[in-house]
Amino acid sequence: MKPQDTVEISEEATAEGENASVCSANESESSLEEQLSAKDKEARENWDRFLRERADLENYRKRVGREKEELLNYGNKSLLEEILPVIDNLERALAHVSDDGQGAVAEGIRMTHAMLLTALKKFNVTPIVSVGAPFDSAFHQAMAQIPSDKHEPNTVVEEYQKGYMLKERLLRPSMVSVATAVK
């Protein structure tokens, strides 16, 4: 073997080695790019998931806040609905009281009635004014129609049972008679 041949072989070997290292560098670069691309995609998915979870948490907080406010404002509705018949009975008793020696009993009923109405006002329960008002199915329950030329048609003429509002919600509708045109 000649020294020139050795040099040629070594140059060829060097060239092949360089090509191999360039190929492996290209392969490692492409695999690095693929890994970076995959990690970037995973990071974007994680960020998107984070934003969605954050929005869900915020919606949950808002919903719980609304439910809490609703409970504070209207949580005592069932208790108030149970008290209303007691007030109705006291009003009926007052309507039938005569002043023939039972003045003390009548005065006690009036005082009890007034105390209950005051307690209801503290909880924002107010009676619905019905007699003389136009009939509104959102607040009134029509029990009868009375032909009348004294009142305009569709006007509440008589109230059988008072209706009440709890803040701006209907607690119980008024039971009423409504005027109709005389034929």
How confident is residue 106, by pLDDT bands cut at 50, 70 and 90? confident
The count of C-alpha atoms lying within 13 angstroms of the C-alpha of 95, restricted to the half-sphere facing its C-beta, is 7
Residue 162 has pLDDT above 80, yes or no: yes
**What are the tokens at 86?**
């007691």
> What's the mean pLDDT in 88-105?
78
Cβ atoms of residues 140 and 176 within 8 Å: yes
Q: What is the pLDDT of residues 69-83, one digit of tens each?
A: 888 878 888 888 889
pLDDT attached to residue 101: 56
> What's the mean pLDDT in 156-173?
93
Residue 14 has pLDDT above 70, yes or no: no
Distance CA 122, CA 119 (A): 5
Average pLDDT of the chain, as a whole number: 84
Residue 54 CA to its chain's centroid (Å): 21
